[in-house]
Chains A and B, each alone.
Chain A
Amino acid sequence: MSHRVINWFRYASPQTFYPLAGKLIPWFWALAAIFGVAGLTIGFLVAPTDAQQGEGYRIIFLHVPASWMSMFIYLVMAFWAAMGLAFNTRLSGMMASALAPTGALFAFLSLWTGALWGKPMWGTWWVWDARLTSELILLFLYIGFIALQAAIDDPRRADKAGAILALVGVVNIPIIYFSVKWWNTLHQGASVSLTKAPSMAALMLWGMLLCALACWMYSIAIALMRVRTIMLERERHTDWVRALLAEKE
């Protein structure tokens, strides 16, 4: 039993995780490239033109995965934050701070591609629709997390403060989402309904799922790369980093 527990936590230490991450990164990049090429090929070359939206709908292959990832990464971040608070592991906080910029990037991409999509389809860059508004607020939450961590010099304190903020944010996300939704429906009927999912051709769906997988793999790869950098920076006084650097030179 105790043997198991040791195995479970084996990669929770930066020293053991660093080489593992280094080995995994190329694989995730390769998977990201394969899924990305496959998804985009289906999306741009194979999938049929949409009957109503013409070619313009093809931005969906970036837009929808980006939105999914922006929401999912916040959850993963909060998960690592909770882990860090519960087990007091150094790596958890590093993972949370490594994920935040990617999540913010996807939230921004989702808003940007949404605006690009909205202009030709609805004739406007922006509507105060519930989904758009809550995505914007999600971006604010990411920015707050990154700003808080950047403002605190002591990394351990930054991790813990960030973790508390991430957990408070996760509790608030449903509240914010529903309040924005009710605000929207009480104010005026939304001029555009985003909630009715159009029945999608199977090929489009496949393209989208493949692109989502590509974004997923990209996020893992880039988060691992970032966490490796953070590890080196924070553990620069330890023996294993010194040994590693000596080896490189």
Chain B
Amino acid sequence: MLILIRAVIGRDLRLAMRRQADIVAAMFFFIIVVSLFPLGVGPEPDQLRKLAPGVLWVAALLATMLSLPRLFADDHRDGTLEQLALAPQPLGLVVLGKVIAHWLVAGLPLVLLAPVLGIQFDLAGDALAVLTLSLLIGTPALSGIGAIGAALTLGVRGGGVLLSLLVLPLYIPVLIFGAGAVDATVSGLGPQAHLSLLGALALGGVFFAPWPTAAALRVALE
């Protein structure tokens, strides 16, 4: 089981590394969206500090959305997905491997970028740490839940826009607790509760989402 997951992760990472432009584009999308907000609302540090958690988290949601369609599309196009579905191993485990690989490629860079962007918003040290931690815990949930949407919209007309319609409402709890953790730190309440709930969402998302995703893939392959 672990061998299968590791093999899928290794394969997806190798494929991603050969097309690094895609990863870099999603990262710059994240940076640009975040940098637009100070230009839009003005450079007052007090205001920016208040906006920072929400802005960074919303930008992270959008950047994840951007990379989701590629999760299954390439494999679908060249027939790999059908072979994976025919394999004796459960398709859910393959999906789990792909979700983890997607997070390593699309989620982890956002986590690493977040502290730098947080400095632009004049966040204090502890808030920066909590922001990074909340993204670290929360982004796996985004990859997991997003996989369901990516599978449902596989090969469908206007898939990209449709994907955001399906997935963004489901992302709301992650957004609330992720941004809430930073808010709670800034206001002195402590982020413990938010981070725990975020962890619960991430675990639930990563471990339950592959199964509906696998079902949706089978529907798409029919």
Contact = CB atoms under 8 A, between A and B. Distances in A.
Interface of A: 85, 137, 140-141, 143-144, 147-148, 151-153, 156-157, 160-161, 164-165, 167-169, 172, 175-176, 179-180, 182-183, 186-187
Contact of A152 (B156, B169, B215): B156
A151 B219 contact: no
Interface residues of B, number: 29
A168 B148 contact: yes
B172 A147 contact: no
B162 A151 contact: yes
A85 B222 CA distance: 14
Contacts, number: 74
B212 interface: yes
18 contacts: A137-B172, A140-B168, A140-B169, A144-B165, A144-B166, A148-B162, A151-B158, A153-B157, A156-B222, A157-B219, A157-B220, A160-B219, A168-B148, A179-B177, A179-B197, A183-B176, A186-B180, A187-B183
A148 B166 contact: yes
A37 B184 CA distance: 51
B173 A179 contact: yes
Chain A contact residues, majority secondary structure: helix
Contact of A151 (B156, B168, B169): B156
B139 interface: no
A223 to B, nearest CB: 23
B180 A164 contact: no
Nearest to A160: B219
A141 B169 CA distance: 7
A85 B212 CA distance: 12
Contacts of B220: 157, 161
Interface string B189-222: 1000000010001000000000010011001101
Q: Which 9 A-B pairs give the minimum distances between C-beta atoms?
A: A179-B173, A140-B169, A160-B219, A183-B176, A144-B166, A144-B165, A179-B176, A151-B156, A161-B152
Given A151-B156, A183-B180, A186-B184, A165 B173 contact: no
Contacts of B189: 186
A140 B170 CA distance: 10
B81 to A, nearest CB: 15
A141 B149 CA distance: 12
Contacts of B166: 144, 147-148, 165
